[in-house]
Chain A
Amino acid sequence: MCQRIIIGLFLSLYLLTACSVLSGTGGPANNKVVDEPKHVESEVDPVATELISQEKAANNSVVQNKQSDPQAILPAPPRNYSAAIITGKMTSDYKQLIAAVENHFDGDTSLYLLKGSRESQQKTFDEIQASSHHYVMAIGDLAATSALRLDNKTLMFSAVFNYQSDGLLEQGMQGVSMLPNPDHLFSLWASLNPDLNTVAIITGSGHEQQISRVKQSAAKYGVKIIHRVVKNDKEMLYESELLFSTVQGYWLLPDHRVLSRRSMKEFLSRSLKKAKQVVVFDQQLLKYGGLIYIEAKPADIGSAMVKQLADSDSHIVFTRETNMLVNAGVAKTLHLDTANIPRNYISHE
């Protein structure tokens, strides 16, 4: 009888795993939305594995370049080409990013700010289309999705977290992921909590590439990533509650589709009450209960964008440099030892 039960359990696990594999099939061009809120974890996601291999190639070059002199190894973009920089907002991060692009790009650049009505935005694109700019660097989701209408331009995006769900890569755009370097995060997190073993990530659909990279990195530190795909903030809260008993912490990624201001506050509040460690993408969330704040450095993203122009083979690249900060107050509340953390990573209480 016990043997039957054990066999049944193994069969169930096998079938479940098979279903997961089938639902995640499609590679970078197949960004199938996961409907079920109770998404299975993607520990053996083949798509993710493939993406990681691509990413590795890109990152290896970056790492190698970083380690030696990236400008000397990567081919520089043609000097007589000019670039148009488009953005929907002029936030401080975007400004830093734009400044980095302008700094590293040899040719002329023109900055276009998308604002006003659709007509005015269309006029802007018409102007870009008619211009001699060979490169178009879209910063932000609005700029990236809007830039798809341009023809005969080399399109580059950054500061777009949902690039997979937006189908940017499939439509020929190259880009720089805004996912911060997970190695840095888990290195820091593991130092803060040596017993860290299970972390949940709840996002919307279409983040397989980035989740794969995260899992790969987490595995180095013995941390298991449980990824849940939800459709809205309500499901995100619900799912997070279901995971309270399973995980030690959450990494809150900036998927705007499943995040609302209220849900973030509530999620952080509930998490803190449940003594869960939460990594947040915005520094202001620390005061609501976030433990670690991490983001890719805007300047690094800008630099990577310029380098990406010369590498038409790589669709997406990941940056290396990050900004990180540990919330000392929450760490104290959660009884985490910050002694091994560099002082510049610790926020003032």
Chain B
Amino acid sequence: MSLMIKIDNIKHRLASKASYAGSWCMRSVRSSARLVRGFGIFNRRQVKSLASRLQLLFLCWGLLVYLLAVSGFWFVSTSVIDATLRHQTTQWLEKIDGLSTPLYASHDINEFNSIKNYVENINEIAYVNFYDGNSLKNIGSYKKELLDAGAIPVLDKKLLAMKRFSALQVGEGVVDRSLKDHGLLRIISPVAIASIQADELLDFDLDSPEDDSVIVIGYMDVGIDYSFYTASLIENIIKGSVSIFIIFLIAAVIGQRVIKNALRPLSALREPLERLAEGDTDVSVKQGGDAEIAAISTALSSTISAIKGRDAELRRLADFDPLTGLYNKRSFSALFEKECQRIEQESDSGALLFIDLDQFKYVNDSLGHAAGDRLLIEVSTLLKQRLRGKDIVSRMGGDEFTILASSVDKAGAAELAGDIVKEIGAFLFIEAGKSFNIGCSIGVALIDGGRFSHEELFAHADMACYSAKSQGRNRYHFYEPALAEKTRLDIGWSQRITEALGEDKFELHFQPIITASSHQTEAYEVLVRLRDEMDNFVLPGLFIPVAERFGLAAEIDYWVIRNTLKLIEGQGSTLRFHINLSEQIFSSPEFVSRLIKISGNMNLYPGQIVFELSEQTAVLNINHTVRRMEELQYHGFNFAIDKFGSGFNSFSYLRHMPVNYVKVSGEFIERMIEDDVDKAMVKSIVDIAKACNKMVIAEYVPGKNSLNLLQDFGVDFMQGNYIAEPRGVLTPASVSPSVPTNISSIAPEK
């Protein structure tokens, strides 16, 4: 008998047991959580460590796996039990059905003994009742001793009238859930007989059992008690859970140690990182650990090394001059201050040497910055070689160097300064196939007794250096208190020049230049004047050298050019205007572009402008001078060589210089009447200039005899206070050709 038994109720009962097991699991989890909190993993008041997080992760993962495992185990177990019970119950019912044959044949209760003997050995069968198919009279009954008789229901027609029973087929069992409260599964199965139709025996299909004639002769009512299985399953799960929980605890302890050991190298990085965050780069990182942590350690070491390198570079840049490698001004000041304190404390002495290279600007301007840089490097090397080990040398900027000589007296300082002057004077800078004598000026300030602050000592050395320069360069000079006043004056002049440039306090004066033939004013030389506090004019001889020393000469020239061009544009003059250019503006790289920018916005004829360049400036770098002159001539400007003849090489250069005018040096003009040599010089210059197709201007014409003689020599233009003094204002009449009043009575020679 193959009974198909629906086991829904079994599942329901197992599910109720599962909920019990689930609640037990949750209690276990909560207990675990409390235990873990005991380890500090869940303590929210503390900052969680990575080890704790990892352990918590593993714990959660483990719990998840455990729950999945238990759920899977429960599901599989119940499924297996389900299938097993289904199979077993089918077998039991088949067997009982077979054993009931004599009982139904005889309705003799004694025939029930065989059934009773059979079911007594099956723990799962709680009771068995057999009913007659027609009367539903109980014809055989068995129940376990411990089973309450009241728990066993009676099969009645009302139950059989229910739909599922009315549809009951032979070979099937129906589960009645009415006994689930008693922990029993009730299965009711019909006891039936079947037979083949009479005429079918010689031709029947064995696989069509539905064609049999079936008669239900009774019912089997069996109660199955599965509590043993569920209890056993839950007991095993509990035992397993306890084992797993113990394993978890052991694993947690071991895992904590393993994770801590694994993360120890990472924790070891904390201290160097904190020190690094505080700016301490002098930290070392211990290498080791797992690959990932080792990689972090290596990367951190590399980072620290890089930071150290960058720090060193920054320190070097902050403390040292990047070009020469010497201490820079900032670091030298700090060292100097410390040395001053030491000297004061130790009653020692020392000296501060302020060095200024004499020819650096010339080299730099003529050969370019790269050559200037190389000169500075060579000089710094020279200085370092000369110094004692405890001396300090620095580059203050530009071509200025300082030397802090420790523990030297005035004689020692003089010896040191003299040696440096001598060595730099003897030093020959070779660049682009040319050699240059550089030379230097050194100011020396003695440090003793703490009478002066280190700032004052710096000023003393600077002033002494200025004094050395003023005295002819290539020498050293000790600071003397008397120097201070003059230096202060110079500094005052530089401030006044800067102020005058800013506030437009310079004035232009114009000295006429007349033609030698007609004595008519053909041009003006533009002269700059500055008024002092008393409203008196300050001659250029006083402020121009200061301006040149303080680098302000070019700005004065720009002021003159700008205002002269404005005047010419405003007056509508057609005369030429001669403007003197300093060496600073002429060598300035931006001079041409700046001049074009100034003149480009004005409505004037560039040919009216004649730039005068002293012979000394012109020959400093003849190639540069020629290029620059040609460049400006291209834009329409003219050039004149001023003070021509004062140098010895002028004649050879004149042939190649693209100048329009040659202005004979005034010192020859002034003495030419009394001195035949000067007269010959003037005549020679005029002759040479003429031979070179240059027009000649004579300045400083002192009187009528000179004027006449210059006319005889063939000078084209003349100027001087005798002819006309410079004037501060140009009238409309004065900007047109006219004869100056001073010489109006002198008839020009025809």
Contact = CB atoms under 8 A, between A and B. Distances in A.
A94 interface: yes
Contact of B202 (A94, A264, A265): A94
A241 B1 CA distance: 14
Nearest to A254: B201
Given A91-B203, A161-B201, A241-B98, A262 B209 contact: yes
Interface stretch (A12-20, A21-29, A124-132, A227-235): A227-235
Contacts of A263: 194
B725 interface: no
Chain A binding surface SS class? helix
Contacts of B208: 261
Contacts of A237: 98, 101
B206 interface: yes
Contacts of A93: 202-203
A231 B192 CA distance: 13
A163 to B, nearest CB: 11
Interface in A230-270: 231-235, 237-238, 241, 254, 256-265
Interface string B200-216: 11111011110110110
A238 B101 contact: yes
A288 interface: yes
Contacts of A295: 202
Contacts of A257: 195
Contacts of A232: 193-195, 215, 217
B196 interface: yes
B199 A142 contact: yes
Contact of B209 (A89, A92, A261): A261
A254 B209 CA distance: 17
Contacts of A261: 194, 196, 204, 206-209, 211-212
A234 B101 contact: yes
A282 interface: yes
B199 A89 contact: yes
Given A235-B101, A237-B101, A238-B102, A259 B196 contact: yes
A137 interface: no
Contact of A285 (B171, B198, B199, B206): B206
B167 interface: no
A175 interface: no
Contacts of A161: 201
Contacts of B209: 260-262
A89 B208 CA distance: 18
Interface string B84-122: 000000000000001001101100000000000000000
A88 B199 contact: yes
A256 B197 contact: yes
Interface string A78-94: 00000000001101111
Contact of B195 (A142, A258, A265, A284): A258
B422 to A, nearest CB: 132
Among B191, B201, B206, find the residue whose CB has the most chain A CB atoms closer than 10 A: B201
A237 B195 CA distance: 12
Nearest to B209: A261
Contacts of A318: none
A94 B201 CA distance: 12
A37 interface: yes
Q: For chain A, which range describes its interface: under 10, 10 to 19, 20 to 34, or 35 or more residues?
A: 35 or more
A284 B214 CA distance: 22
A92 B204 CA distance: 11
Interface string B167-183: 00001000000000000
Nearest to B105: A37
B194 A260 contact: yes
B101 to A, nearest CB: 4
A233 B198 contact: no
Nearest to B193: A232
B195 A91 contact: no
Given A260-B209, A261-B204, A263-B194, A140 B199 contact: yes
Contact of A259 (B195, B203, B215): B195
A233 B195 contact: yes
Contacts of A178: 202
A68 to B, nearest CB: 31
A245 to B, nearest CB: 16
Interface in A5-44: 37
B66 to A, nearest CB: 47
A257 B194 CA distance: 8
A183 interface: no
Interface in A58-110: 88-89, 91-94
Contacts of A162: 198
A234 B193 contact: yes
B204 A238 contact: no
A262 B212 CA distance: 9
A141 interface: yes
B210 to A, nearest CB: 9
A281 interface: yes
Contacts of B193: 231-235, 260
Given A234-B191, A282-B204, 7 more contacts: A93-B202, A140-B198, A234-B192, A241-B98, A254-B202, A284-B206, A295-B202
19 contacts: A91-B203, A94-B202, A141-B198, A162-B198, A231-B193, A232-B193, A233-B194, A238-B98, A238-B102, A254-B202, A260-B193, A260-B212, A261-B196, A261-B204, A261-B212, A263-B194, A264-B206, A281-B201, A282-B201
By Cβ-Cβ distance, the 8 closest A-B pairs, closest first, are A260-B194, A238-B101, A91-B203, A232-B193, A141-B198, A254-B201, A256-B196, A261-B209
Interface of B: 98, 101-102, 104-105, 171, 191-204, 206-209, 211-212, 214-215, 217
